[in-house]
């Protein structure tokens, strides 16, 4: 099938001539255009060799936009590992998945574009026989032995894990196999019926819920090296014989012997593919290169700078080899075994027809063929200018060809259309770049399938086409203008795609993270230590119990049906958490003291809430006709959590009572857009908005973001900043007072008495924990009068308390933007070699690095040290004592990549976003608080690259115990969305924080944060219902006890992972209604397979318990010979109902004391008992 993309091609190598020389185009996107044209003309794969990772990513992104919809010219990236040679890190599973997918696809690629950085092309890779021979199909109807399949997956390099999250993971549960195949877009759930595959369903790794059905899947190898016994034994033998490693001391050897893949195993790849050739003859290297996969029809295209980049990489590899080769426990392979040397690569390229793109300094640049493209001048468009788009109008008047404006997103397209309309420019609106192309080459482009006939030539159009740079072509005569020409100051932002959201659970109360020995709270018996789940006989039936150890070695075994009485202990560190005695008075006294305190706090909280609710008339009517186009201007796709937070905020604004919502989300997860939408809704309804931030730099960043988003709307955004003169500030305050400014952004300066608003409707507070006590008191005064929206990455305990108690509404944005990888965190002493490596790893992939040194006096000396450590680094300095204008210039220069290392103080903590910065080094990390460390680490990891954080500390023995715990907590929280969990760690480390400015850490530390919060919830509920809280209450949470003497547990062979079992037990016992239980049943069947009888019994008992509790029944017990019901002191059951039951069937029912009803009926099996229990509850229910 011929390509749909069919335009005049630049010169290709002619018959008998091996090379074609192109003169480097004016822009990177113009080069991508010419690459696409050449690929369409060449009958075979076109191999694009880029000088580094950054340019490879950019070429790939531009090609995808230019070739949108053309399936005949696929773009196949072969990404770099993004590790340094001989690293002791393995690449991220997503990268390995993409590489294996490419290797599997390349041998059958008839035509298309393969994009690879030169250092990746130099790598030796697994041979074709391993990729093809190690792949296999699974399809519906196929017979499958689960045990054999488990062994096959492990041999193929897949990891057996409790829950599948990343490519290369698998889990076996009952008759289900969950697996995330390499190269697949989503993990798969394979369900067996007997021994046949009954269904294959894709599922969401976050929620673990099923999505679409598929009929078959190809399973690629799980790693780039085989982990089968024969291959591993071959490597072990080589390590012993060739390198003479100490087999007991070498972690590399021991891991492989245990069939574990050590980090960095990829740098031993050739050892897995050696072929023996007889005694005395050294084994033959059977690795391959990318050329072996591409076949003879491949046409390489070598981009500018590739030769120099290959030489530099080779020098770096040799240097790293020399530095590390003497480590006897981790012997290294020589560079020649892992890579093709640059001369070898040149020799290979010289033997093939190829295209060489020549920069101006290339020896052949004079003879190179010009490609017929022209540079474009800047054509700035300013929405507020008296004559917006004047430069663009002049260009359109002069240019003889057709013009396309390429917008980054649909929202940006709409914003551009409004600016152009103000200048009387009305381009034709097209859906994408491909829609502009059909008439670009006359009849040269055929009708595309599904697009209908090619449209007539459009002289001036606009389309959604995110491209790096604009370009103008001589043939066809078209010019493509990007937002970089029209808005030179607008920073480039990669577009994100939608990813399913994770349902935020009550993280603090989740038992799934419990480790043995952790403090745990039982509501009736106090704080003990968790000792695991244990199966015991209870009345002749097996049941699973949670074992808790108390003082003096006493043990309590809690049935899983009562796990709603159990909570994690947070409130002090594990070492200082109390350990109560079973049956002692200490716990009941502590609980009563906490309940008394809680009653007073609840009353005060409710008084504030009552004042807020008494103030009516604050409802803001959101104008959807204005709001929807504004929302569409967001340059990213929203995550599900983000959308939920936005909708909840808009609902609050439309309410007549003042909003008090906390949006908690990790750094970079999209909280700012929630504030932007809320501000637009309030401002467009005629109200003023104040945005309060902790630092001047953050104020400036928010100002730029808000100004950019509001640019095309008749709303005025300004900033009160120390970057402005006193005269400017005075003028702006006057405009705020007379309503001339709609959104004002600033630091705590906005809380000064001289700031008067004409009609303030919304206050947005960013990072509330960074403000002092006086500022918080001023905010508390505001809370009763205006809508308040608080944004935070790690909520302070007080904020968390109020949110958990339902007194401030809470939205959690727990879903990371797609492709954002977790930050790999290291706690280490200063080490020159390690830091040099960190600098090299980041700078080699075209990234930027933060170095945080929080001492202004010695920051100059630190700059000199770092310059010696990494001479290639371009280092800028930023700190709070610099003149304001200079500081702003430094930060903007770093954003524009004029230097690649920012040496700074904590002024960057709430600084500007730099998606290209993906490594941070924090000197003396032991001197920072947990929230501060989390915030600083959140400066990196804002793109799809693996990010690194190095926390430098002095000797571990010289830092405090609390500092040690903070560092351990931040290092353990390398998963994304950890801000909420870190807030609970903060509680454990610092002790529980203040609530409403009143220190209560004493009571909270005694009973634990979770129970304290639950007591607060109950007190609030009681006061709202007009009654005083019962300090001894607890029965409402306890519910009824139901015992039918049937096995009711989650069997180990159905769900082996103890943490997941514990979490599910807690969710089942805490379920408040039948619908929640039904949803939980569906989820368990979906995730783990059909429910075995003991699990069905568990759900049935939970349903009965709920029904019995509603009737005021304390205990329902049934066995082989009947049973009894024990009523509460004031049950909901009508006494006449009980009397009538006894009168009608005296042989069946009898009273056994004032509060017990006895049942005399043989109930030999489980079904009889469940039917009898349901019948009893139905009979006792009010008619």
Query: Which pLDDT tens digit goes with each residue over 47-59?
Result: 999 999 889 999 9
In a domain, 748, yes or no: yes
Asked if 865 and 901 sit in the same domain, the reply is yes
Q: What pLDDT, on a 0 to 100 scale, did the predictor assign at position 1037? A: 47
SS3 1073: coil
* DSSP H helical ranges for 768-824: 773-783, 797-804
Query: What's the CATH code of the domain at 35?
Result: 3.40.50.11180
End residue of a domain, out of 196, 219, 242? 219
What secondary structure letter does DSSP report for 25? Answer: P
Question: CA angle, corner 787, sides to 785 and 791, nearest 5?
Answer: 130
Q: How confident is the model at residue 994 (pLDDT cuts 50, 70, 90)?
A: very low
Residues 130 and 142 in one domain: no
Average pLDDT of the segment spanning 4-14: 80
Ramachandran sector of residue 526 (left: φ over 0; alpha: ψ -120 to 50; beta: rest): left
Q: Under a CB-based contact definition with an 8 Å cutoff, are residues 1008 and 863 in contact?
A: no
Q: Is the pLDDT of residue 872 over 70?
A: yes
Helix boundaries (H) for 694-747: 696-710, 726-737
1095 within 8 A of 1084, measured Cβ to Cβ: yes
**Is residue 892 scored above 70 in pLDDT?**
yes
The predicted structure's pLDDT at residue 498 = 33
- What is the pLDDT at residue 891? 82
Q: What's the pLDDT tens digit per position in 930-970?
A: 667 777 787 787 655 678 889 888 876 667 666 776 677 66
Residues 122 and 5 in one domain: yes
Domains of the chain: total = 6
Contact 515, 1059 (CB under 8 A): no
Q: Which domain holds residue 150?
A: 136-219
Confidence bin at 802 (pLDDT 50/70/90): low
Which CATH number belongs to the domain containing residue 162 in this structure? 3.30.2060.10
Over residues 249-269, mean pLDDT? 89
* pLDDT, tens digit, 9 for 90 and up, residues 335-358: 999 999 999 999 999 989 999 999
* Domain co-membership, 874 together with 968: yes
Q: CA of 123: how far to CAs of 81, 87, 348, in Å?
A: 10, 14, 14
Helices 961-972 and 979-990 meet at what angle, rounded to 10? 160
Helix axes 1009-1024, 797-804, angle to 10 degrees: 50
Element (H, E) at 211: strand 210-214
What pLDDT band is residue 445 in, cutting at 50, 70 and 90? very low
Long-range contacts of 1155-1160 (CB under 8 A, 24+ apart): 1155/1126, 1155/1127, 1155/1128, 1155/1129, 1156/1124, 1156/1125, 1156/1126, 1156/1127, 1157/1124, 1157/1125, 1157/1127, 1158/1122, 1158/1123, 1158/1124, 1159/1118, 1159/1122, 1159/1123, 1159/1124, 1159/1125, 1160/1121, 1160/1122
Q: How high is the pLDDT of residue 187?
A: 93
Strands 136-139 and 112-117: unpaired
Residue 526 has phi, psi (to 5 degrees) of: 95, -160
pLDDT of 863: 94
Residue 144 gets which letter from DSSP? -
In a domain, 838, yes or no: yes
Residues 775 and 887 in one domain: no
Q: Is residue 992 part of a domain?
A: no
Locate 466 and state its tokens.
């995110």
User: For the segment 650-692, what is each residue's pLDDT rounded down to a tens digit?
Assistant: 998 988 778 888 887 766 678 889 999 999 999 999 999 999 9
Residue 1052 binned pLDDT confidence (cut-offs 50, 70, 90): confident
**Calpha distance 1158→1149 (Å, rounded):** 6
Domain boundary among 459, 486, 513: 486
CATH number assigned to the domain comprising residue 647: 3.40.50.300
pLDDT of residue 10: 87
Phi and psi for 880 in degrees, rounded to 5? -70, -15
Q: Where are the alpha helices (DSSP H) in 15-143?
A: 28-41, 53-66, 93-105, 118-121, 128-133
Cα separation values, 363 from 26, 358, 368, 395, Å: 19, 8, 10, 35
Identify whether residues 847 and 797 lie together within a single domain. no
pLDDT at 479 over 90: yes
Using alpha carbons, select from 476, 458, 444, 451 the residue that is nearest to residue 405: 458
The separation between the first and the last C-alpha atoms of the chain, rounded to the nearest angstrom, is 73
Supply 885's token pair.
């204008």
Do residues 128 and 201 both lie within one domain?
Answer: no
Radius of gyration of the chain, Cα coordinates, nearest whole angstrom: 34
Picking from 219, 246, 262, the residue at the C-terminal end of a domain is 219
Rounded distance between C-alpha atoms, residue 910 and residue 671, angstroms: 13
Residues 1166 and 1120: their CA atoms lie apart, in Å, by: 9
**Is the preceding omega at residue 729 within 30 degrees of 0, hence cis?**
no
Lowest mean pLDDT among 711-715, 869-873, 1101-1105, 1132-1136: 711-715
Strand 1149-1151 and strand 947-952: the pairing is unpaired
Over residues 766-776, mean pLDDT: 69
981: region left, alpha or beta (phi > 0 left; psi from -120 to 50 alpha): alpha
> Do residues 946 and 82 make contact, with C-beta atoms less than 8 angstroms apart?
yes
Q: Which tokens is 791 given?
A: 């944004």
Tell me the helix, strand and coil percentages in the chain, rounded to 5: 40, 20, 40
Mean pLDDT in residue range 1163-1169 = 91
Residue 1000 included in any domain: no
Shared domain for 1127 and 1095, answered yes or no, is: yes
Residues 624, 672: one domain? yes
What global pTM score does this model have? 0.64
The CATH number that applies at residue 459 is 3.40.50.11140
Q: Tell whether 472 is covered by a domain.
A: yes
- pLDDT of the residue at 989: 41
> Left (φ > 0), alpha (ψ -120 to 50) or beta: where does 490 sit?
beta
Do 252 and 166 lie in one domain? The reply is no
Of the listed ranges 218-227, 980-989, 1148-1157, the least confidently predicted one is 980-989
Does residue 530 lie within any of the structural domains?
Answer: no
The pLDDT value recorded for residue 1036 is 45
Q: Which two tokens stand for residue 970?
A: 């931040």
Kindly indicate the confidence band of residue 984, based on its pLDDT and cuts at 50, 70 and 90: very low
* Per-residue pLDDT reduced to its tens digit, 221-245: 999 999 999 999 999 999 998 888 8
Per-residue pLDDT, 826 = 83
Q: Is residue 1042 part of a domain?
A: no
Of the pLDDT bands very low, low, confident and very high (cuts 50, 70, 90), residue 604 is: low
Q: Is the pLDDT of residue 884 over 50?
A: yes
Contact 821, 944 (CB under 8 A): yes
Stretch (H or E) spanning 137: strand 136-139
Distance from chain centroid for Cα 981: 14
Same domain, 70 and 169: no
Helix axes 586-614, 773-783, angle to 10 degrees: 60
Q: Residue 558: how many CB atoms within 10 A of its CB?
A: 20
Whether the CB-CB separation of 461 and 428 falls below 8 Å is answered with yes
For residues 704-727, average pLDDT: 82
Asked if residue 350 and residue 269 are part of one domain, the reply reads yes
pLDDT(783) > 90: no
How far apart, in whole angstroms, are the C-alpha atoms of residue 497 and residue 273?
38
Of the pLDDT bands very low, low, confident and very high (cuts 50, 70, 90), residue 987 is: very low
CA dihedral 796, 801, 807, 813 (to 10 degrees): 60
Higher confidence at residue 314 or residue 1027?
Answer: 314
Among 100-109, 303-312, 479-488, where is mean pLDDT lowest? 479-488
What is the average pLDDT value for the chain, to the nearest integer?
Answer: 81
Residue 517 lies in a domain: no
Residue pLDDT, tens place only, 296-340: 899 999 999 999 999 999 999 999 899 888 888 889 999 999 999
* Nearest to 1046, CA basis, from 1165, 905, 883: 1165
């Amino acid at each position: 099938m011929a390509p749909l993309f069919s335009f005049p091609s630049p010169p290709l190598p002619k018959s008998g001539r091996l090379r074609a020389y192109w003169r480097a185009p004016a822009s990177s996107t113009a080069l991508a255009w010419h690459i696409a044209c050449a690929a369409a003309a060449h009958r075979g794969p076109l191999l694009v060799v880029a000088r580094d990772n950054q340019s490879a990513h950019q070429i790939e992104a531009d090609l995808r936009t230019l070739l949108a919809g053309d399936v005949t010219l696929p773009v196949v990236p072969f990404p770099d590992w993004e590790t340094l040679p001989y690293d002791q890190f393995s690449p991220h599973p997503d990268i390995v998945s993409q590489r294996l997918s490419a290797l599997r696809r390349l041998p059958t690629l008839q035509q298309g574009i393969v994009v690879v950085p030169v250092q990746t092309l130099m790598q030796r890779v697994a041979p074709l026989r391993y990729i093809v021979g190690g792949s296999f199909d699974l399809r519906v109807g196929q017979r499958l032995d689960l045990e054999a399949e488990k062994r096959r997956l492990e041999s193929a390099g897949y990891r057996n894990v409790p829950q599948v999250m990343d490519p290369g993971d698998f889990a076996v549960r009952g008759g289900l196999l969950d697996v995330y195949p390499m190269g697949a877009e989503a993990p798969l759930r394979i369900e067996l019926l007997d021994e046949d595959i009954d269904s294959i369903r894709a599922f969401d790794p976050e929620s673990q819920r099923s999505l679409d059905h598929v009929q078959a899947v190809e399973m690629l190898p799980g790693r780039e090296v085989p982990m089968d016994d024969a291959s591993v034994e071959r490597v072990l033998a080589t390590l012993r014989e060739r390198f003479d490693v100490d087999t007991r001391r070498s972690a590399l050897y021991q891991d492989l012997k245990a069939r574990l893949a050590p980090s960095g195993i990829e740098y031993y790849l050739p050892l897995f593919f050696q072929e023996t050739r007889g005694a005395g003859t050294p084994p033959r290297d059977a690795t391959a290169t990318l050329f072996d996969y591409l076949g003879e029809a491949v046409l390489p295209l070598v981009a500018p700078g590739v030769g120099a980049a290959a030489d530099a990489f080779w020098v770096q590899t040799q240097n790293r080899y020399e530095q590390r080769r003497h480590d006897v426990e981790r012997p290294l392979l020589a560079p020649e075994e892992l890579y093709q040397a640059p001369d070898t690569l040149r020799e290979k390229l010289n033997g093939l027809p190829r295209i060489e793109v020549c920069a101006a300094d290339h020896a052949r640049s004079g003879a190179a063929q010009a490609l017929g493209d022209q540079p474009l001048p800047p054509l700035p468009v300013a929405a507020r200018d008296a004559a917006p788009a004047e430069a663009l109008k002049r260009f359109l008047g002069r240019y003889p060809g057709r013009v396309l404006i390429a917008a980054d997103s649909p929202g940006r397209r709409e914003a551009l259309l409004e600016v152009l309309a103000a200048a009387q420019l009305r381009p034709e609106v097209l859906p994408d770049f491909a829609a502009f192309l059909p008439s670009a080459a006359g009849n040269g482009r055929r009708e595309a399938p599904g697009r209908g006939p090619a449209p007539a030539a459009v002289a001036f159009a606009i389309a959604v086409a995110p491209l790096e740079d604009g370009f103008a072509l001589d043939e066809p005569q078209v010019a493509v203008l990007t937002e970089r020409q029209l808005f030179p100051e607008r920073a480039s932002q990669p577009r994100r795609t939608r990813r399913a959201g994770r349902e935020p659970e009550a993280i603090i109360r989740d038992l799934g993270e419990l480790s043995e020995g952790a403090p745990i709270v039982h509501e009736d018996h106090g704080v003990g230590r968790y000792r695991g789940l244990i199966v015991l006989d209870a009345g002749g039936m097996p049941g699973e119990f949670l074992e808790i150890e108390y003082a003096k070695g006493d043990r309590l075994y809690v049935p899983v049906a009562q796990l709603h009485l159990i909570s994690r202990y947070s409130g002090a560190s594990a070492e200082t958490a109390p350990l109560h005695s079973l049956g002692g008075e200490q716990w009941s006294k502590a609980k009563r003291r906490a309940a008394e305190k809680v009653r007073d706090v609840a009353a005060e909280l409710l008084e504030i809430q009552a004042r807020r609710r008494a103030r009516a008339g604050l409802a803001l009517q959101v104008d959807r006709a204005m709001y929807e186009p504004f929302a569409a201007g967001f340059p990213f796709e929203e995550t599900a959590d983000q959308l939920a937070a936005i909708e909840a905020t808009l609902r609050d604004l439309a309410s007549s009572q003042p909003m008090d919502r906390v949006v908690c989300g990790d750094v970079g997860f999209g909280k700012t857009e929630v504030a932007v939408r809320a501000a637009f809704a309030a401002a467009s309804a005629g109200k003023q908005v104040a945005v309060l931030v902790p630092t001047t730099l953050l104020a400036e960043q928010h100002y730029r973001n808000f100004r950019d988003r509001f640019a095309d709307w008749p709303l005025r955004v300004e900033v009160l900043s120390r970057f402005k003169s006193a005269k400017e500030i005075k003028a702006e305050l006057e405009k705020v007072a007379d309503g001339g400014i709609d959104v004002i952004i600033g630091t705590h300066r906005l809380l000064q008495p001289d700031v008067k608003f004409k009609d303030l409707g919304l206050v947005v507070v960013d990072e509330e924990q960074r403000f002092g006590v006086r500022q918080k008191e001023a905010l508390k005064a505001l809370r009763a009068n205006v809508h308040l929206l608080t944004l935070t990455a790690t909520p302070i305990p007080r904020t968390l308390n109020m949110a958990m108690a339902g007194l401030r509404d809470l939205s959690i944005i727990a879903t990371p933007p797609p492709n954002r990888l977790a930050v790999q965190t290291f706690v280490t002493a200063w080490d020159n070699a390690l830091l040099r490596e960190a600098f090299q790893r980041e700078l080699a992939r075209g990234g930027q690095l933060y170095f945080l040194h929080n001492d202004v006096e010695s920051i100059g000396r630190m700059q000199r040290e770092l310059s010696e450590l990494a001479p290639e680094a371009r280092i800028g300095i930023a700190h709070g004592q610099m003149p304001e204008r200079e500081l702003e210039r430094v930060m903007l220069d770093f954003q524009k990549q004029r230097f690649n290392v920012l040496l700074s103080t904590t002024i960057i903590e709430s600084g500007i976003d730099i998606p290209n910065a993906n490594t941070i080094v924090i000197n003396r990390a032991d001197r920072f608080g947990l929230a501060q460390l989390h915030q600083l680490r959140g400066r990196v990891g804002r793109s799809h690259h693996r990010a690194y954080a190095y926390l430098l500390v002095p000797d571990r023995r010289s830092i405090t115990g609390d500092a040690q715990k903070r560092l351990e907590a931040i290092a353990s929280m390398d998963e994304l969305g950890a801000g909420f969990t870190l807030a609970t760690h903060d509680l454990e480390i610092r002790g529980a924080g203040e609530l409403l400015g009143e220190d209560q850490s004493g009571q909270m530390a005694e009973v634990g944060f979770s129970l304290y919060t639950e007591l607060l919830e109950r007190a609030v509920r009681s006061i709202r219902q007009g009654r005083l809280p019962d300090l001894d209450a607890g029965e409402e949470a306890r519910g009824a006890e139901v015992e039918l003497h049937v096995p009711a547990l989650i069997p180990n062979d159905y769900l082996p992972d103890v943490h997941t079992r514990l979490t599910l037990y807690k969710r089942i016992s805490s379920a408040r209604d039948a619908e929640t239980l039904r949803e939980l049943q569906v989820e368990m069947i979906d995730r783990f397979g059909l429910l075995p009888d003991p699990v069905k019994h568990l759900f049935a008992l939970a349903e009965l318990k709920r029904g019995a509790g509603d009737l005021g029944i304390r205990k329902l017990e049934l066995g082989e010979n009947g049973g009894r019901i024990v009523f509460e002191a004031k049950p909901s059951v009508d006494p006449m109902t009980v009397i009538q039951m006894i009168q009608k069937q005296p042989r069946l029912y009898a009273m056994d004391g004032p509060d017990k009803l006895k049942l005399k009926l043989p109930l030999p099996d489980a079904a009889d008992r469940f039917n009898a229990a349901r019948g009893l509850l139905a009979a006792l229910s009010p008619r």
